[in-house]
C-alpha cells in the first residue's frame, strides 16, 4: 500500500510540474510537414550535386502531401485555436523594445511573452510565406508534368511568366534552407531545448512556464 501510494504521489508531482504546450495532432502535423519539406529539398537538390534518381514523381507527390498538411494546420489554427497567439503585431514590437531597453540599461520591466515569443512568431511567419510560395509555384509547375490525374500542358504560361515562377520557387526553397538552419540551431541551444522537447512530447516545465511566460497570455490545457 505504501508503494502504491508513493508511486501515485510521484506521478501527481510529475504531472503538477509540467503543463501541456502542444497537443498530439499539432506535434504530428509539425513533424509530418518537416519530413515533407526535407524530402522536397532533398529530391530537388541531390540531383544538382550528381546524385541521379527518379525524383520528379517523389517530389510532386510529397508536395501534395505537404499541401494537405498545411490545409489541415490552417483550418485547425482558425477553428480550434486562437490565431492571435501566433500573430505578430504592435504589442510584439513594444515587447521587443521594452526587453531590449531592460537588457541594455537595466531600466523598465521585462515583458514575458504569451505562448510564443516575438522571434518565434517571426520565424513562423517566414516559414509560412516561403512554404506557401513554394507550394503555389510548385502547383503551377506541375502543369508540365504527366501524372495519373492530368496530362501535361506546358504552354498555358508564356516563357517569361514561367521564368518568374521558377525564380520564385527556387528562391523560396533556398531561403527555406536558411530559415530551417536557424530553426534547428535555436532548437538545439541548451536554454531552448525545453521547447524542442515540448514539440516531441507535448509537455513543458511548469517553472519555465511561470518564469518565462505570462500565464494570462498563455492559458494551458490538460489534454495532450
For the chain, what percentages of helix, strand and coil (3-state, to nearest 5) are there? Answer: 70, 5, 25
User: Could you tell me which residue, 145 or 208, shows the higher pLDDT?
Assistant: 208
Cα angle for residues 52, 56, 57 (degrees, 5° grid): 125
* Domain residue limits, the chain: 22-212
If you search the block for the grid coordinates 541521379, which residue do you land on? 52
pLDDT of residue 6: 43
Split at pLDDT 50, 70, 90, the class of 51 is confident
- pLDDT above 70 for 10: no
- 213 — pLDDT class (breaks 50, 70, 90): very high
Give the Cα separation of 120 and 139 in Å (integer). 28
pLDDT score, position 9? 40
Question: At 224, is the pLDDT very low, low, confident or very high (cuts 50, 70, 90)?
Answer: low
137 neighbors 131 (Cβ within 8 angstroms): no
In this predicted structure, the answer to whether residue 13 has a pLDDT above a threshold of 90 is no
CA–CA distance from 28 to each of 35, 61, 168, 200, 211 (Å)? 11, 19, 29, 9, 28
For the segment 157-164, the average pLDDT, to the nearest whole number, is 88
pLDDT of amino acid 222: 53
Whether residue 41 contacts residue 173, with contact meaning beta carbons closer than 8 Å, is answered with yes
Distinct helix (H) and strand (E) counts, the chain? 8, 2
Query: Which grid coordinates belong to 101?
Result: 531597453
Asked whether residue 223 carries a pLDDT value surpassing 80, the answer given is no
Q: What is the CATH number of domain 22-212?
A: 1.20.950.20
User: Which alpha helices (H) appear in 46-158, and where do they start and end?
Assistant: 56-79, 90-105, 118-141
> Grid coordinates standing for 59?
517530389
| Exposed / middle / buried, residue 124 (Cβ in 10 Å: 0-12, 13-18, 19+) | middle
Rounded CA separation 49/104 (Å): 46
Q: Is the pLDDT of residue 3 over 50?
A: no
Residue 24 · residue 31 · CB < 8 Å: no
Amino acid at each position: 500500500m505504501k508503494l502504491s501510494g508513493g508511486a501515485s504521489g510521484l506521478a501527481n508531482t510529475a504531472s503538477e510540474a509540467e503543463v501541456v504546450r502542444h497537443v498530439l495532432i499539432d506535434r504530428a502535423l509539425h513533424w509530418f510537414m518537416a519530413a515533407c519539406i526535407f524530402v522536397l529539398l532533398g529530391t530537388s537538390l541531390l540531383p544538382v550535386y550528381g546524385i541521379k534518381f527518379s525524383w520528379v514523381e517523389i517530389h510532386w507527390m510529397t508536395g501534395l502531401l505537404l499541401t494537405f498538411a498545411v490545409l489541415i494546420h490552417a483550418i485547425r489554427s482558425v477553428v480550434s485555436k486562437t490565431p492571435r497567439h501566433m500573430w505578430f503585431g504592435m504589442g510584439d514590437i513594444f515587447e521587443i523594445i521594452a526587453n531590449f531597453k531592460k537588457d541594455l540599461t537595466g531600466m523598465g520591466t521585462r515583458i514575458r511573452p504569451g505562448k510564443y515569443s516575438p522571434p518565434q512568431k517571426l520565424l513562423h511567419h517566414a516559414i509560412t510565406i516561403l512554404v506557401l510560395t513554394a507550394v503555389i509555384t510548385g502547383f503551377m509547375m506541375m502543369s508540365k508534368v504527366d501524372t495519373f490525374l492530368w496530362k501535361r500542358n506546358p504552354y498555358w504560361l508564356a516563357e517569361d511568366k514561367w521564368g518568374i515562377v521558377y525564380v520564385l520557387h527556387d528562391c523560396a526553397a533556398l531561403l527555406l534552407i536558411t530559415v530551417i538552419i536557424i530553426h534547428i540551431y535555436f532548437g538545439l541551444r541548451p536554454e531552448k531545448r525545453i521547447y524542442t522537447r515540448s514539440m516531441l512530447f507535448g509537455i513543458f516545465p511548469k517553472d519555465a512556464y511561470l518564469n518565462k511566460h505570462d500565464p494570462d497570455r498563455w492559458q494551458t490545457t490538460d489534454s495532450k
